[in-house]
Structure 1
Amino acid sequence: MFIPLLNKPVDTLRPAGSAISPSDWSILSNHWYPVAIARELLDAPLAVTLLDVDLVLFRGTDGSASAAIDACPHRHVRLSIGKVVDGQIVCPFHGLHFNQDGRCTYVPALGPRNNLPPSYKVRTFEVRERYGLLWTCIGEQPLEDVPLLPLIAKVPADELDYLAPEIWPVSAARQVENFIDIAHLPYVHAATLGGDQAAPIKPGRIEQQPDGVLMRANYVETNHGIRHCAYTYRVVLPFAIEFKVEVEGDADFMLESCDLPSPISAHQCKVFQILRYGGSREERAAMCGGLAMVNREDMVVLGAMRIPDLPLDQHHEIHLPVDNISNAYRGRLRDLGLGR
């Protein structure tokens, strides 16, 4: 009922109840993650969670987005249930106004005072708009920029489709591994992609890159006729994927996408997916619907995973030759200092 007298306030952003270890949190917090589709942040504030930290997004008078801790420092009511007035977020409890820098500019109960103390503030974070998404970083030493995704960087906006973001019941790292795992395709996605469950699957060709790992692999889809596909996965550390599909004998086929799981917590992520598909508006909508179905198939299986944490020590699991991409990805996560 009460905060004990001996419990002094601490200035640590990582919540005490976070299941992400302090060392992993410190590393992950310095990366940039998508937190919203840019066009969906309009006149009202938007609540999001990143690495167990509750944030509120809002737009200033110039239209740029900001992120702040989703709690008024006065009585800790969520700012996200308030409103935005003249580019400032207003607490719904006592009407305190906070600008994009987090400074409190107006307290109705104090009248028209302009000399509010510096302690009247809420912590804010920079937001960058890139690839049609809003990205933020909450670490003390943020990386210079958001992940480089050349597959979609220069594509006209009207050629891109955005699947509705969904919350997956696994960590961002588990979601990445699932996306790049080709051995599960004929089983989990038998109804959508198809494939011969009895046919051996050859490991892909791995290429290490400065910012991640690239793999090229072949797969035969069977649910849209027999399609001999070349899959290219480019994993950008820590949690971003560029994916490209090429179909043998069909030079006009074009499917490119980005899979971007944003870590809500140790065992949940919000997945943003951007799709570029060569086809009519109706065909693009159908492809988005098909990929959404693929996601649902994945979530059913991943939700049954008994060990939610991703092992970075290879001795925790058995491994197949086709797991080479996962093993390469885990090695790069270890290189970041994670799991220590």
Structure 2
Amino acid sequence: MLERTLWHPVALSHGIGRAPVAARLLETPLVLWRDDTGALHAWHDQCPHRGAALSLGRVTRGQLECPYHGWQFRAGGQCTHVPAVPDFKPGPRHCALVFETREAYGMLWVRLAPPEGEGSPVHQLPAFAAETEPRLRKVTSGPYLVQASAPRIIENFLDMAHFGYVHEGWLGARDRPEIPPYEVATTPHGVRATSCFAFQPQSSIHAVDGAQVEYTYEVTGPYTAVLTKVPEAGTTALAGLEESIAMFVCPVTEETSVAWTRMAMNDFESPDARLIDFQNTIFGQDQPVLESQRPKRLPLAPDAEVHSAADRMSAAYRRFLLGAGIQWGVIR
């Protein structure tokens, strides 16, 4: 399955310490843990001996110990010690199933299966990496557990026409719901929308007045998207405000997901809690609507749902998923 060969976010890096953490990706149970060097690992959450959840175990002397019989596994997955038979030398079959991992944008990314050829790298988003763009501050909100498919969440993130109704008084106003025509183009990794404008009473925590805000949206992978927003000059307390937001979604099952937003901005003064509270409010407004949508999986057939001209980006996203061969979280 194509989706197993893609990189997916599964947890915040700073949330994984010495204790094993359970997670799920594409209905696969994972155990996440760090060894004594600080390296992150993601394994199948199942001991090869009797199938117990390794996430119930502990890390001892830099190795992951099964909670059932105390078998110990070093980085790489090989069993090194069977306490009940201390002289036994475990062989190659006495090994945990190990998945590829990467750290990027403050998150642990996991790939469940090797791709044919080189495969795709973890999404290249320089603005959201502390080491490549120190000029912008990074703050992450979430996780948000959502009873909706990952594509439904991404499509909602790309949608401006709901602002005046779902985010009334914040990102939109009922008496100014118009979305002017905008441009959509394909890219090597997805689709991009430019010259997107919407009126917003409070576009961010820095808004001092309602403003016409210009958006740029970019889908950088099946379950990842980025927006940048530029309010009208003079409508924010922070002059020259720069703000980008990435939506990272982990497809847990076909109809449940975990999402995070990562902000990159030139605001180095506001407390993290205030920035996160704003994102929590916005996502909290979206969540009940997302969870109400039927079908929960995103239908890709052109005639499955009706559209308007304001849905050009959403239609382009659906065509991208269809062309990329995505099966998970969609109805083809």
Q: Aligned to 2:278, which of 281, 290, 297?
A: 290
Structure 1 residue 79 corresponds to structure 2 residue 54: yes
Q: Aligned to 1:160, which of 120, 123, 138?
A: 138
> CA separation in 2, counterparts of 1:124 and 1:195?
49
2:70 corresponding residue in structure 1: 95
Structure 1 residue 43 corresponds to structure 2 residue 31: no
Structure 1 residue 226 corresponds to structure 2 residue 210: yes
SS in 1 for 2:240: strand
Q: Aligned to 1:127, which of 101, 106, 120?
A: 101
TM-score by length of 1: 0.88
1:259-278: CA deviation from partner (whole Å, max 9, x where unpaired) = 10111110111112111233
One-letter amino acid matched to 1:335: G
1:260 corresponding residue in structure 2: 248
Conserved 8 A contact 2:137-2:268: no
SS in 2 for 1:314: coil
Q: Aligned to 2:124, which of 130, 148, 171?
A: 148
Per the TM alignment, residue 101 of structure 1 is displaced from its structure 2 partner at its CA by 1.1
Conserved 8 A contact 1:30-1:137: yes
Structure 1 residue 213 corresponds to structure 2 residue 201: no
> CA separation in 2, counterparts of 1:203 and 1:28?
33
Conserved 8 A contact 2:41-2:75: yes
Structure 1 residue 322 corresponds to structure 2 residue 323: no
Conserved 8 A contact 2:73-2:79: yes
One-letter amino acid matched to 1:186: G
Per the TM alignment, residue 29 of structure 1 is displaced from its structure 2 partner at its CA by 0.8
SS in 2 for 1:272: strand
**How many residues were matched structurally?**
314
Q: More deviation in 173-182 or 152-161?
A: 152-161
SS in 2 for 1:109: coil
- Distance of aligned partners of 1:112 and 1:197 in 2 relative to their CA distance in 1, 3 Å threshold: farther
> CA separation in 1, counterparts of 2:16 and 2:61?
15
One-letter amino acid matched to 2:112: I
Q: More deviation in 275-284 or 262-271?
A: 275-284
Structure 1 residue 204 corresponds to structure 2 residue 182: yes
SS in 2 for 1:330: helix
Q: More deviation in 133-142 or 44-53?
A: 133-142
Per the TM alignment, residue 219 of structure 1 is displaced from its structure 2 partner at its CA by 0.8
Structure 1 residue 183 corresponds to structure 2 residue 161: yes
Conserved 8 A contact 1:237-1:333: no
SS in 2 for 1:48: strand
| Identity of matched residues, % | 31
- Distance of aligned partners of 1:245 and 1:284 in 2 relative to their CA distance in 1, 3 Å threshold: farther
> CA separation in 2, counterparts of 1:320 and 1:235?
20
> CA separation in 2, counterparts of 1:191 and 1:54?
40
TM-score by length of 2: 0.90
Conserved 8 A contact 1:72-1:78: yes
- Listed as ranges, the gaps of 5+ residues in structure 1 are 1-25
1:275-298: CA deviation from partner (whole Å, max 9, x where unpaired) = 123335435532321111110110
Q: Aligned to 1:117, which of 91, 96, 108?
A: 91
> CA separation in 1, counterparts of 2:78 and 2:136?
38
One-letter amino acid matched to 1:185: F
Conserved 8 A contact 1:192-1:290: no
- Listed as ranges, the gaps of 5+ residues in structure 2 are none
One-letter amino acid matched to 1:248: E
Structure 1 residue 171 corresponds to structure 2 residue 145: no
Conserved 8 A contact 1:203-1:323: no
Structure 1 residue 275 corresponds to structure 2 residue 263: yes
One-letter amino acid matched to 1:52: E
SS in 1 for 2:216: strand
